[in-house]
């Protein structure tokens, strides 16, 4: 990294004073950085306010005793040449500043009945599956449908649906029409008969927090299409590199960043009986803006408005179920034998995803994900050592309500499971850190540390997840609590959507936001 770039990344924010901005963003995660970058590049006066001393939220990393640990995602899809995030970074001149490494063996799935190592190449994977399951005739059809769904979903236009538009939509998006109300199980069952093969193909359901019988077919299909077709990647130097590059681009175009500061309230006034956002308040400081984009938990967002939102809108939010959270152990260990060559190993206590999920809801670690990112990026650990992350999914209320003995038992069981991948791991540990739903909530600006925002059921994905625009004029949402959902890809896409929504609104009514206040 050049010195000039590092100075931009490390620029102190303590000198930022209250004043007038075009757009203020609450939260400094991937969605806020993406949105802020696009708007700053469009010559808007933009301020990002983040309560933590770092940007990126859970997509960040830290160094301890020579080991680099990721706080969040360690699997990054959509960075293949021509994929969504790759195109975004290229279009805005940032791609060359980020080195993405592609593991040769991204996944290994371990079930009680057997295991499957998933290669990076899709053709190799399909050939391997056909040899292992010669009676399965729908393998090509399954992967072809994933690819078609991805193409169709990225060509959907958000217009008011008329009969003519619906007929055109139906003709151009037949797979979306077929599966938009269905779970992923219905897609699997159409092509695959063997229960073991179903479990292997759908194993990345753990990234959404819902099993195939509950997760939206569109959500998991899009994720799998990115992973199987384009492959998964990892940023050289750790997950912080992605938000650092976005932050660099944002500051390069004049965007301001205020770290270690928390918004106390969102200022809203009624103008001709219409709620209109006016800015935000931090302590005694007032920051004025025509638009405020909240990239934190939607429930927290509307509490900051002081009840300026219609009761029915809030009731609809309260009915939505947050996704599961996680407990993650971050370990720096001595080098030695590993029973895997995969970037990530997914261990399941049961063959049935539904049984695994029901056990997770009870606080039992029926799933254990073990990532060894130092196999992909050797700069993460001192020579002759490894970085290992061990995690399971938990309901946040289970962890928060557990006593110390229950928490210690869960952590011990994770170490015990990790022995399958890292023999004698307990003796080899040199450095250890733990991440809980509480720390995830602090990093992500959420109430309960949900990893994927709202649980992505078909009903939520189809119509109940909030859109970027809210009932308050000028207040928008970004991040995993709005469209299109959780995960690295969707978080950045939501920021993109919020930015272009603001640009479209500016084009529509430019300076028409009323200035006369009739009621506070």
Neighbours of 260 (CB within 10 A): 12
Query: Rounded to an integer, what distance in angstroms lies between the CA atom of residue 73 and that of residue 76?
Result: 7
Pairing of strands 256-259, 46-50: parallel
pLDDT at 6: 39
pLDDT at 344: 97
Pairing of strands 20-26, 107-111: unpaired
Span 349-397, pLDDT tens digits: 999 999 999 999 999 999 999 999 999 999 999 999 999 999 999 999 9
The answer to whether the CB of 454 falls within 8 A of the CB of 466 is no
Question: Above pLDDT 70, what percent of the chain?
Answer: 92
Residues 6+ apart with CB under 8 A from 231: 77, 80, 102, 106, 120
pLDDT at 9: 42
The answer to whether the CB of 42 falls within 8 A of the CB of 12 is no
Span 204-219, pLDDT tens digits: 999 999 999 999 999 9
The pTM for the full model equals 0.91
Record the tokens describing residue 437, joined without a space.
């739903």
* Domains of the chain, CATH where assigned: 3-59+241-321+454-509 (3.50.50.60), 107-230 (no CATH)
State mean pLDDT over 320-333: 96
Query: Rounded to an integer, what distance in angstroms lies between the CA atom of residue 44 and that of residue 40?
Result: 5
> Of 496, 375, 62, 475, which is closest to residue 241 (Cα–Cα)?
62
Query: Rounded to an integer, what distance in angstroms lies between the CA atom of residue 480 and that of residue 318?
Result: 16
pLDDT at 512: 54
Span 26-71, pLDDT tens digits: 999 999 999 999 999 999 999 999 999 999 999 999 999 999 999 9
Query: Rounded to an integer, what distance in angstroms lies between the CA atom of residue 288 and that of residue 349?
Result: 53
pLDDT at 5: 35
State mean pLDDT over 265-293: 95
pLDDT at 520: 35
State mean pLDDT over 101-113: 95
C-alpha separations of 168 from 159, 162, 177 in Å: 12, 10, 11
Span 417-426, pLDDT tens digits: 999 999 999 9
What pLDDT band is residue 7 in, cutting at 50, 70 and 90? very low
Burial readout 223-239 (b: 16 or more C-beta within 10 A, e: otherwise)? bbbbbbebbbbbbebbb
Cα 341 to the center of its chain, rounded Å: 25
Record the tokens describing residue 152, joined without a space.
């169709």
Record the tokens describing residue 251, joined without a space.
């500051």
C-alpha separations of 204 from 138, 207, 264, 370 in Å: 20, 6, 38, 13
What pLDDT band is residue 454 in, cutting at 50, 70 and 90? very high
pLDDT at 158: 52
pLDDT at 202: 97
> Of 340, 416, 296, which is closest to residue 104 (Cα–Cα)?
340
In this predicted structure, the answer to whether residue 463 has a pLDDT above a threshold of 90 is no
Query: Rounded to an integer, what distance in angstroms lies between the CA atom of residue 99 and that of residue 500?
Result: 27
């Amino acid at each position: 990294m050049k010195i000039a770039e590092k100075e931009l990344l490390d620029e102190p924010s303590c000198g930022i004073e209250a004043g007038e901005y075009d757009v203020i963003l609450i939260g400094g995660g991937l969605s806020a950085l993406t949105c802020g970058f696009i708007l700053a590049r469009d010559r808007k006066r933009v301020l990002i306010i983040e309560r933590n001393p770092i940007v990126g939220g859970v997509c960040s990393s830290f160094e301890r005793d020579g080991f680099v640990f990721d706080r969040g995602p360690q699997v990054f899809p959509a960075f293949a040449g021509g994929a969504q995030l790759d195109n975004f970074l290229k279009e805005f001149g940032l791609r060359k500043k980020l080195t993405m490494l592609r593991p040769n063996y991204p996944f290994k799935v371990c079930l009680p009945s057997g295991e499957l190592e998933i290669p990076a190449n899709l053709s190799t994977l399909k050939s391997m599956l056909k040899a292992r399951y010669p009676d399965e005739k729908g393998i090509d059809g399954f992967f072809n449908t994933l690819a078609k769904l991805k193409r169709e979903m990225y060509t959907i236009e958000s217009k008011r649906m008329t009969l003519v538009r619906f007929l055109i939509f139906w003709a151009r998006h037949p797979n979306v029409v077929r599966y938009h109300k269905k779970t992923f199980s219905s897609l699997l069952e159409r092509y695959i008969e063997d229960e073991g093969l179903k479990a292997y193909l759908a194993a990345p359901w753990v990234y959404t927090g819902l099993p195939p019988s509950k997760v939206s077919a569109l959500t998991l299909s899009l994720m799998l299409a990115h992973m199987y077709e384009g492959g998964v990647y990892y940023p050289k130097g750790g997950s912080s590199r992605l938000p650092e590059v976005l932050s660099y681009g944002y500051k390069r175009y004049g965007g301001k960043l205020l770290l270690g500061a928390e918004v106390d309230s969102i200022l809203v006034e009624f103008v001709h009986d219409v709620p209109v956002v006016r800015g935000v308040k931090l302590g005694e400081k007032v920051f004025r803006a025509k638009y405020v984009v909240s990239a934190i938990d939607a429930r927290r967002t509307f509490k900051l408005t002081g009840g300026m939102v219609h009761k029915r809108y809030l009731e609809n939010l309260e009915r939505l179920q947050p996704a599961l959270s996680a407990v993650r152990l971050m370990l720096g260990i001595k080098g030695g034998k590993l029973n895997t060559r995969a970037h990530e190993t997914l261990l399941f206590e049961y063959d049935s995803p539904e049984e695994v999920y029901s056990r997770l809801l009870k606080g039992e670690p029926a799933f254990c994900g073990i990532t060894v990112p130092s196999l992909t990026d050797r700069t993460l650990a001192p020579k002759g050592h490894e970085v290992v992350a061990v995690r399971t999914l938990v309901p946040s209320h289970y962890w928060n309500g557990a006593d110390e003995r229950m928490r210690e038992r869960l952590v011990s069981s994770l170490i015990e499971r990790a022995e399958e991948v890292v023999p004698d791991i307990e003796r080899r540990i040199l450095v250890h850190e733990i991440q809980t739903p509480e720390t995830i909530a602090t990093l992500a600006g959420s109430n309960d540390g949900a990893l994927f925002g709202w649980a992505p059921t078909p009903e939520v994905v189809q119509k109940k997840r909030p859109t970027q625009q809210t009932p308050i004029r000028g207040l928008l949402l970004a991040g995993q609590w709005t469209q299109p959902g959780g995960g690295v890809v969707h978080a950045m896409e939501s920021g993109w959507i919020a930015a272009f929504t603001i640009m479209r609104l500016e084009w529509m009514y430019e300076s028409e936001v009323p200035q006369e206040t009739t009621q506070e």
